[in-house]
Amino acid sequence: MSKVDARIAEVKSFFRNNDTVLGYRKLMDCVIDRQDLDIYNEVISLTDWKEKHPNEEKELIERSLQILDRVSKIPVTEYDTNKPLVIGKKLIKSYGYKRFKLGPISIKIHKGEVYGLVGENGNGKTTLLRLLAKELKHNSGSLDFEFDNSYDSDYDLRTNLVYIPQRTQKWYGSLKDNLKFVLSSYGVSPEENETRVLMMIARFGLWNYKHLKWSELSSGYKMRFELARTMLRQPELLLLDEPLANLDVLAQQVILEDLKSLCNSINNPVALILSSQQLYEVEKISDKVIYLKNGQYKDNKEEQVEDENQLIVEIDCNADREKLLSIFEGLQLNKLIFNGGIYVGYFDETTAFHEVLQVLGHHEIDVTYTRNITKSTRRFFVS
C-alpha cells in the first residue's frame, strides 16, 4: 500500500472508530495535500456545518467520508525527502572571547522530518535556531540551503526560512485579514485567498475564533493562529523556538500532532526544527532529537553508546535512598543518583523495566512518577 493510500485508510479507520476529532484533522491534511480548491470549499462548508451542529456526529462522519472518497481519486505525487534541505558543516557561533560559543555543529535537515532541539537553558538552542534562520551569522563553517523555490537574494532566501521566536508579536486588526495579508503578499490570487485562509483556519481548529481579537485569545490559540499564518507561507523550513511554552498539556499535544502531520505532508513536506523543554512530548513526535549542552551537540544515538548495556529508570517517590537500595538489591543496580527531587537508577542490561516496576509495587513504594529514560535525552538532564 502506498503512503497515499495508507493515509486515506488511516482516516477512514479513525472515522469508523468514531475518532471524529482526529479523523477530521487528518481528513483536512489529505485535502490540503491535494491543493484542490473545490474540495477546500467543501471542507470549509462542512466545517461551518460541523460547528453549527456539534452533536450530529453521524452525519459529519458520513459527509467526511464522501469527501474522502473524492480526495482519494485525486492523484498526489510523493515528494522525495531523501535530499537534504539544509546542510550545515562545522558551524560555530561565538559571542566573543570567553563568552558563549556554539558548535562546531554539523547538521543535515530533511523535509518531512521533525527535529526536536532540547537542552537546558543557555546551552544554545535559540542560537542554533537563529543561525539556521540566518538571523545570526556563523563565525566559521558552512551553511547551505537547497530549497525548491529558487532565490536570487538573501531577502528572498529568508522568505523561505520561517522562524518563529519564543515571544511572538501581537497581531493587530482582524485575525483573518492578517492571514489574508500573508497570502496576498505571496501573490496568491484573490480567488484563492479567502478559501486557503479558511481552510487553514479550519485545519488548526480556529473556526469559532476567527472573528475574535488577538487580545481575546488564549496563549494556545495565539500559537495556533501563528502556526496557521506560518503554514500559509508554505515554508520549506520551519524553525520554532519554544512553541509549547505557556501551553497546557492538551494544547501541547494537539499542536505537536498538527505540526507533525503538516510536516509529513505527502507532496509538500516541511522540515521542522523546534526547541522545547517538554522532553517527553518533543521526543514523542521528533524523528531526531538534538541535545545541546554547553553549546555542544550531542546526538541521541551517539550518546547511547556510552549508556548501552544499561537500563536507566527515573523514579519519583517518597522512599529514602537506603530503602530503594535495599529493594533493588536483586536487580543488578549499578548506581542510584538522587538529584534532589528524583532518583535515577542505572541497572544492568539484563534487568527489565517491568521488573523494576514489580519490585516497587511489591514493596508498596508510593511512586508518584516513573519512566524508562534509557533512550531518552531526559537522562542528560537528570544525571
Which stretch of DSSP H or E encloses residue 241?
strand 237-241
Task: Report the residue number, 77 or 169, with the smaller CB distance to another protein.
Answer: 169
Least Å from the CB of residue 73 to another protein: 30
Q: Which grid coordinates are listed for 58?
A: 453521524
CA atoms of 243 and 277, how far apart (whole Å): 10
Q: 218, 198, 193: which is closest to 210 by C-alpha? A: 198
Paired residues of 12 in beta bridges: none
CB of 230 to another protein, least distance (A): 10
CB of 193 to another protein, least distance (A): 5
* Footprint of another protein (CB under 8 A): 95, 130, 134-137, 153-159, 161, 172-173, 177-178, 180-182, 184-187, 190, 193-194, 233
Q: Omega of the bond prior to 54 within 30 degrees of 0, cis?
A: no
Residues contacting residue 270 through CB under 8 Å, at least 6 positions apart: 111, 112, 235, 236, 237, 238, 262, 263
- The minimum distance between CB 139 and another protein, in angstroms, equals 10
**Taking a C-beta distance cutoff of 8 angstroms, is the pair 247, 166 a contact?**
no
- CB of residue 259 to another protein, shortest distance in Å: 20
Closest approach of Cβ 272 to another protein, in Å? 18
Q: How far is the CB of 229 from another protein (least distance, A)?
A: 9
| Span between the terminal Cα atoms of the chain, in Å | 44
At its nearest, how many Å lie between another protein and the CB of residue 137? Answer: 4
**CA–CA separation, 227 vs 225, rounded Å?**
5
Q: How far is the CB of 41 from another protein (least distance, A)?
A: 16
The nearest distance, CB 136 to another protein, in angstroms, is 5
Helix (H) or strand (E) holding 252: helix 249-263
**Comparison of 54 and 190: residue with beta carbon closer to another protein:** 190
Of 174 and 253, which has the nearer Cβ to another protein? 174
Q: Which is nearer to another protein, 125 or 298 (CB)?
A: 125
Nearer of residues 275 and 374 to another protein, judged by Cβ: 275
Spatial contact of 370 and 314, defined as CB atoms under 8 Å apart: yes
Give, in order, the Cα–Cα distances in Å from 374 to each of 190, 262, 290, 327: 53, 29, 16, 21
Sign of CA dihedral 202, 207, 211, 216: negative
Which residue, 191 or 308, has its beta carbon nearer to another protein? Answer: 191
Contact 270, 262 (CB under 8 A): yes
In the bound state with another protein, the residue whose beta carbon lies nearer, of 144 and 329, is 144
CB nearer to another protein: pick between 98 and 137: 137
Nearer to another protein, 270 or 319 (CB): 270
Strand ranges of the sheet holding 114-118, from the earlier edge strand across to the other edge = 161-164, 237-241, 271-275, 114-118, 288-293, 296-299
**Complex with another protein: residue 192 or 355, whichever CB lies closer:** 192
> Locate cell 562546531: which residue?
104
- CA nearest 199: which of 320, 23, 22, 31? 31
